[in-house]
């Protein structure tokens, strides 16, 4: 499982990049969902998102899930390419699979890679 | 599909699992005196007696096959149904209304739904059809649901033409309660007897143009409209798209064999009542709602959807697809709470359309059109009667009558005719207006007979 050390994570399996303000779905989450066939970003540029509020709706061949904002902030960019290529969420969740970018976000309170790795391992048992 | 009931042993295991001793224990919250109340029922009948009683009761119904000549439409139409439709429907393999989850054992049913979807797409000129809804009214209401979801609740207005079927509009009002949507163009409390509201009924779709704004999620029109009139909606659709809104056209499927499809006009959603496609009038149901849209909106579409795929041996196969949209997975976040479909009626429509084919359906539509125009022409020459609207129509038209419609219909009934729909019930500005439907089932003699009785009524 890929858990980059530069990112922060939520208990609901979203990641946040403090350097760029980007957020998305973790590698663990995409693996659990299996083949993702649909994604819809439900927030727009200029809107404020709050930690725990939905930023995207994701459907795979066997499940549907909401992706929540990993931190509070104002949306400055939305990944418009995702809706046409939902499979990048499976292939590259931390790269092309970014969902929105926010500014003014506070990453304190999120797990670091080590804590998130432990959290994922605990759930595997 | 074989039905396997649970065994007494399985029943005991289930009861043990939830910690209950007997089935009766499950009902102990119901006060004992209400558990088995004395029902005041007549003594049980033998099969012979029951058959006699039901037979006797059914003679109280007058039907359009043997008793009455029908000129009543208003959303449900009397068409000829080839005998093969019923024959195929009654096959045990098809005789369930339920959509199958397991493709391994349900290829026949799934393929039938897939064929139905393909036929409906061809008829409407649209890209995707779901596996059907309960009836036309439900399908129209689901269009509002879909548009609401498409704009994530941010657009609050639905513009609906007053010439959409009154019962569809009523269903719509019931559906959108609590959603925070505003219906424009159809205020049930508005005084419809004013000259202004009559003018809005006389006008075509352009009457709606001023109502469509940046807050509009959906514009709904009917084709032909409730009064039978046919308009090209291209302009209102372009205008609505200019404001970012979606457009739903509720269409009569028979008419689509003859006229430009709503798909060609640019509609985003095309729905309708599928009853004219091989489903008997049956005193009001079961009917069939068809629902189609464009591929880009497929994830916002309600209901079951069957897709074509290949199995692990590379053979063509059918499965329910994109089910993650639906309520059994998405729960309260699902767009619609409708997961099931009207399987048996959808099959009837598929069989009917396959039997008639493109040419046959067009012939039915042409017969309806020409017979209706012959009827309208004759009625318009009867003293006291005139056609209300000038717009082109399909197989239904509105007539201004010299007497109340209820009175005329009573006389018609005495002569064996089921008269037209009393428009005054729904539109106070259309008091004494009768909506008359003519289909391929009406012979020239019957039409001439109707006209004679109408003339007689005016002389009385």
Question: For residue B37, what are its two tokens?
Answer: 């109340």
pLDDT computed for residue B189 by the predictor: 54
Contact partners, residue B92, CB within 8 Å, separation at least 6: none
pLDDT computed for residue B53 by the predictor: 95
Contact partners, residue A87, CB within 8 Å, separation at least 6: A35, A36
Contacts of A60 in chain B (CB under 8 A): 324
Is B322 in Cβ contact with A62 (below 8 Å)? no
Is B333 in Cβ contact with A59 (below 8 Å)? no
Q: Is B459 on the interface with A (CB under 8 A)?
A: no
Helices of type H across B252-342: 262-265, 327-330
Percent of chain B with pLDDT over 90: 75
| Coil, helix or strand at residue A94 | coil
Give bridge partners of residue B396 from the DSSP assignment: B437
pLDDT computed for residue B458 by the predictor: 84
Mean pLDDT of chain B, nearest integer: 92
How long, in residues, is chain A? 125
pLDDT computed for residue B425 by the predictor: 93
Contacts of A62 in chain B (CB under 8 A): 324
Alpha-carbon distance B111 to nearest alpha carbon in chain A (angstroms)? 20
CB distance B236 to B219 below 8 Å: yes
pTM to 2 decimals? Answer: 0.89
Of B126-135, B155-164, B186-195, which range is least confident? Answer: B186-195
Q: How far apart (Å, rounded) are the C-alpha atoms in residues A56 and A38?
A: 10
Q: Is the pLDDT of residue B270 over 80?
A: yes
Percent of chain B with pLDDT over 70: 96
Is B330 in Cβ contact with A64 (below 8 Å)? yes
Question: For residue B282, what are its two tokens?
Answer: 């049956």
Question: Per-residue pLDDT averaged across B278-287, rounded?
Answer: 94
For chain A, positions 89-108, list CB contacts with chain B under 8 A. none
CB distance B291 to B302 below 8 Å: yes
Is B152 in Cβ contact with A64 (below 8 Å)? no
Q: Which residue in the set A37, A40, A64 is minimally distant from B329, CB to CB?
A: A64
Angle, vertex CA B382, rays to CA B378 and CA B385, nearest 5: 105
Highest mean pLDDT among A71-80, B237-246, B294-303: B237-246
Is A63 in Cβ contact with B333 (below 8 Å)? no
* Bond preceding residue B129 cis, omega within 30 of 0: no
Contacts of B328 in chain A (CB under 8 A): none
Q: Is B20 on the interface with A (CB under 8 A)?
A: no
For chain B, positions 285-324, list CB contacts with chain A under 8 A. 299, 322, 324
Interface test with A, best of B299, B301, B324, B336 (most A CBs within 10 A): B324
Is B324 in Cβ contact with A57 (below 8 Å)? no
Question: For residue B363, what are its two tokens?
Answer: 């012939």
Question: For residue B86, what are its two tokens?
Answer: 């019923």
Which of A96, A102, A70 has its CA nearest to residue A83? Answer: A96
Q: Is B154 on the interface with A (CB under 8 A)?
A: no
Is B152 in Cβ contact with A62 (below 8 Å)? no
Torsion angle, CA of B52/B57/B59/B62, rounded to 10 degrees? -150
E strands within B89-181? 128-129, 157-160
Torsion angle, CA of A74/A80/A84/A89, rounded to 10 degrees? -50
Q: Is B152 on the interface with A (CB under 8 A)?
A: yes
- Below-50 pLDDT ranges, chain A: none
Q: Is A63 on the interface with B (CB under 8 A)?
A: yes
CB distance B155 to B217 below 8 Å: yes
E strands within B95-144? 128-129
Q: What DSSP line would sit under A17-53, residue for residue? A: -TTT-EEEE-HHHHHHH-SEEEEEE---TT-EE-TTS
Is B325 in Cβ contact with A64 (below 8 Å)? yes
Q: Which residue in the set A38, A42, A61 is minimally distant from B299, CB to CB?
A: A38
CB distance B79 to B257 below 8 Å: no
How long, in residues, is chain B? 460
Alpha-carbon distance B299 to nearest alpha carbon in chain A (angstroms)? 8
Q: How far apart (Å, rounded) are the C-alpha atoms in residues B166 and B146?
A: 21
Which of B134, B124, B116 has its CA nearest to residue B348? Answer: B116
Q: Is the pLDDT of residue B221 over 80?
A: yes
Give the CA diameter of chain A: 41
Which of B336, B337, B311, B306 has its CA nearest to residue B322? Answer: B306
Alpha-carbon distance B330 to nearest alpha carbon in chain A (angstroms)? 6
Alpha-carbon distance A122 to nearest alpha carbon in chain B (angstroms)? 26
Q: Is the pLDDT of residue B188 over 90?
A: no
Q: How far apart (Å, rounded) are the C-alpha atoms in residues B82 and B84?
A: 5
pLDDT band with cut points at 50, 70 and 90 for residue B193: low
Give the CA diameter of chain B: 79
Alpha-carbon distance A40 to nearest alpha carbon in chain B (angstroms)? 9
CB distance B418 to B345 below 8 Å: no
Structure confidence by residue, pLDDT tens digits, B391-437:
999 999 999 999 999 999 999 999 999 999 999 999 988 999 999 99
Of B59-68, B87-96, B114-123, B331-340, which range is least confident? Answer: B331-340
Nearest-Cα residue of chain B relative to residue A39: B299
B217-255 burial, b at 16+ Cβ within 10 Å, e below that, comes to bbbbbbbbbbbbbbbebeebbebbeeeebbbbbbbbbbb
Q: Which residue in the set A42, A59, A62 is minimally distant from B325, CB to CB?
A: A59
Structure confidence by residue, pLDDT tens digits, B5-63:
889 999 999 999 999 999 889 998 999 888 888 899 999 999 999 999 999 999 988 88
Contacts of A59 in chain B (CB under 8 A): 299, 322, 324-325
| Coil, helix or strand at residue A60 | strand
Question: For residue A21, what are its two tokens?
Answer: 């303000």
Interface test with B, best of A57, A58, A82, A84 (most B CBs within 10 A): A57
Which of B182, B180, B242, B240 has its CA nearest to residue B208? Answer: B240
Give bridge partners of residue B159 from the DSSP assignment: B184, B219
Reduced 3-state DSSP string for B233-256:
CHHHHHHHHHCCCEEEEEECCCHH
pLDDT computed for residue B337 by the predictor: 81
Q: For the complex shown, is ipTM > 0.85?
A: no
Question: For residue A124, what are its two tokens?
Answer: 């595997």
| Coil, helix or strand at residue B222 | strand
Contacts of B322 in chain A (CB under 8 A): 37-38, 59
Q: Which residue in the set A42, A59, A66 is minimally distant from B324, CB to CB?
A: A59
Is A66 in Cβ contact with B333 (below 8 Å)? yes
pLDDT computed for residue B190 by the predictor: 53
Q: How far apart (Å, rounded) are the C-alpha atoms in residues B401 and B387?
A: 9
Question: For residue B286, what are its two tokens?
Answer: 């079961």
Contact partners, residue A102, CB within 8 Å, separation at least 6: A21, A23, A49, A69, A71, A72, A73, A74, A75, A76
pLDDT computed for residue B297 by the predictor: 94
CB distance B320 to B304 below 8 Å: yes
Q: Is the pLDDT of residue B98 over 70?
A: no
Q: Is A40 on the interface with B (CB under 8 A)?
A: yes
């Amino acid at each position: 499982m890929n858990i980059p050390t530069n990112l922060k994570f939520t208990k609901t399996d979203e990641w946040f990049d403090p350097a760029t303000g980007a957020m998305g779905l973790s590698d663990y989450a995409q693996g659990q969902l299996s083949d993702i066939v649909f994604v819809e970003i439900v927030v727009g540029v200029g809107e404020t998102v709050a930690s725990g509020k939905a930023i995207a709706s994701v459907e795979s061949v066997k499940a549907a899930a909401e992706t929540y904002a990993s931190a509070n902030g104002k949306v400055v960019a939305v990944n418009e390419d995702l809706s046409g290529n939902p499979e990048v969420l499976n292939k590259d969740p931390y790269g092309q699979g970014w969902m929105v970018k926010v500014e003014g976000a506070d990453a304190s309170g999120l797990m670091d890679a080590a804590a998130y790795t432990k959290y994922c391992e605990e759930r595997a048992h | 599909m074989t039905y396997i009931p649970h065994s007494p042993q399985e029943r005991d295991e289930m009861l043990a699992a939830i910690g209950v001793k007997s089935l009766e224990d499950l009902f102990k919250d119901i006060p004992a005196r209400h558990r088995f109340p004395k029902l005041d029922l007549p003594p049980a009948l033998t099969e012979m007696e029951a058959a006699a009683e039901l037979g006797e009761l059914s003679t109280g119904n007058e039907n359009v096959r043997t008793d009455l000549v029908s000129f009543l439409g208003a959303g449900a139409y009397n068409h000829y149904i080839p005998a093969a439709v019923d024959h195929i429907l009654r096959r045990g393999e098809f005789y369930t209304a339920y959509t199958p989850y397991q493709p391994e054992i349900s290829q026949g049913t799934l393929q039938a739904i897939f064929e139905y979807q393909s036929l409906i797409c061809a008829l409407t000129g649209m890209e995707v059809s779901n596996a059907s809804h309960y009836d036309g009214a439900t399908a129209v209401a689901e269009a509002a649901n879909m548009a609401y979801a498409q704009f994530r609740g941010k657009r609050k207005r639905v513009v609906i033409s007053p010439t959409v079927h009154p019962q569809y509009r009523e269903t719509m009002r019931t559906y959108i309660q609590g959603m925070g949507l505003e219906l424009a163009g159809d205020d049930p409390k508005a005084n419809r007897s004013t000259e202004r509201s009559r003018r809005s009924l006389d006008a075509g779709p352009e009457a709606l143009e001023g109502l469509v704004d940046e807050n509009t999620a959906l514009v709904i029109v009917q084709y032909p409209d409730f009064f039978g009139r046919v308009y090209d909606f291209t302009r209102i659709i372009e205008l609505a798209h200019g404001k970012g809104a979606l457009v739903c056209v509720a269409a009569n499927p028979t008419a689509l064999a003859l006229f430009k499809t709503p798909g060609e006009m640019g509609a985003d959603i095309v729905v309708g009542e599928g009853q004219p496609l091989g489903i008997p009038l049956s005193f009001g149901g079961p009917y069939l709602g068809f629902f189609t849209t464009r591929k880009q909106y497929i994830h916002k579409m309600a209901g079951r959807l069957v897709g074509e795929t290949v199995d692990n041996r590379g053979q063509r196969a059918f499965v329910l697809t994109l089910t993650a949209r639906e309520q059994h997975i998405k729960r309260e976040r699902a767009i619609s709470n409708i997961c099931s479909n009207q399987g048996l009626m959808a099959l009837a429509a598929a069989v009917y359309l396959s039997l008639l084919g493109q040419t046959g359906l067009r012939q039915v539509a042409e017969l309806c059109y020409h017979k209706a125009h012959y009827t309208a022409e004759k009625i318009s020459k009867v003293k006291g009667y005139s056609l209300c609207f000038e717009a082109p129509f399909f197989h239904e038209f509105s007539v201004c009558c010299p007497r109340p419609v209820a009175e005329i219909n009573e006389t018609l009934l005495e002569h064996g005719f089921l008269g037209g729909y009393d428009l005054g019930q729904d539109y106070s500005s259309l008091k004494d207006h009768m909506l008359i439907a003519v289909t391929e089932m009406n012979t020239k003699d019957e039409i001439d007979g109707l006209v004679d009785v109408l003339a007689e009524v005016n002389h009385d």
